[in-house]
Amino acid sequence: MIKYLSPEVLLFAYQQGLFPMAESRNAKQVQWIQPKKRGIFQLGNFHISRSLKRAILKKDYSITINSCFSKVVEKCADRNETWINEDIYNCYCKLHDDGFAHSVEVWRDNRLIGGVYGVAIGAAFFGESMFSEVSNGSKIALTFLHDRLLKAGFILFDTQFLTEHLASLGAIEITQAQYLIKLDKALNKSATFLDNNYSADIETIAHRSTQTS
């Protein structure tokens, strides 16, 4: 079992189906997690509620990529209980500098209102954490992240665990054995997160899959 944390160790761990969590913000060590059940988004099957569709089509926000990665991680950790300690924060910032970790930011009136970050290896994207300071802030970030991954050729969007929030957007739960099969396929395929040919069409994104709620 891996006992310490570094950018190189993080990349290795992801490729084995592991991810790190600390017990608290001030914890000195991290635990390596390999859950029996794994949350994923099936790319191309992202659910958009009517309320989220309205929020997307309102277009009173802007989306940026990697414009303030460290700030997104800080905001993800800014809660009463967090698994992001200093070592985790520093390692992901280094992975960002090395081109592996990415963030999607949502802005309104020059204010950062939502965001999500994660790590890309091959055609796999490992979602780490998200935050929201207004209604639908993190959901808008996830919607645009999903669109980018889908169009850029990614085949695995890992959410680690399945939460009610993620399930409402279409995430599902699979076994770790099933996950490792998907992971192996994704690691042996190439995809480019910062694809220069990518463009976001808000109308298409909002209408891709609309639910009744």
* The model scores a pTM over 0.75: yes
How far apart are alpha carbons 23 and 26 in whole angstroms? 8
- Residue 51 located in a structural domain: yes
Task: Describe the crossing of helices 50-58 and 137-152 by its angle, rounded to 10 degrees.
Answer: 80
pLDDT tens digit sequence for 177-196: 999 999 999 999 999 999 99
- Residue 201 located in a structural domain: yes
- Residue 22 located in a structural domain: no
pLDDT tens digit sequence for 5-25: 899 999 999 999 999 999 999
- For the beta carbon of residue 33, count every other beta carbon within 10 angstroms: 14
The domain tally of the chain equals: 1
pLDDT at residue 4 tops 80: no
For residue 41, give the nearest of 140, 138, 145, 192 by alpha carbon: 145
Neighbouring-strand partners of residue 32: 20
**The predicted structure's pLDDT at residue 213:** 45
Neighbouring-strand partners of residue 102: 118
Boundaries of domain holding 167: 36-80+100-207
How far apart are alpha carbons 175 and 191 in whole angstroms? 24
pLDDT at residue 211 tops 60: no
**The predicted structure's pLDDT at residue 209:** 61
pLDDT tens digit sequence for 91-143: 999 999 999 999 999 999 999 999 999 999 999 999 999 999 999 999 999 99
**The predicted structure's pLDDT at residue 28:** 86
For residue 13, give the nearest of 37, 31, 26 by alpha carbon: 31
- Residue 5 located in a structural domain: no
pLDDT tens digit sequence for 22-60: 999 999 889 999 999 999 999 999 999 999 999 999 999
- Residue 30 located in a structural domain: no
How far apart are alpha carbons 136 and 115 in whole angstroms? 11
- Residue 27 located in a structural domain: no
Task: CATH number of the domain at 54, please.
Answer: 3.40.630.70
For residue 49, give the nearest of 59, 41, 57 by alpha carbon: 57
For residue 140, give the nearest of 43, 41, 53, 50 by alpha carbon: 53
- Residue 31 located in a structural domain: no
pLDDT at residue 1 tops 60: no
- Residue 87 located in a structural domain: no
What backbone torsions phi and psi does residue 26 show, to the nearest 5 degrees?
-100, 5
Mean pLDDT calculated for residue range 142-148: 97
Asked whether the beta carbons of 22 and 83 are under 8 A apart, the reply is yes
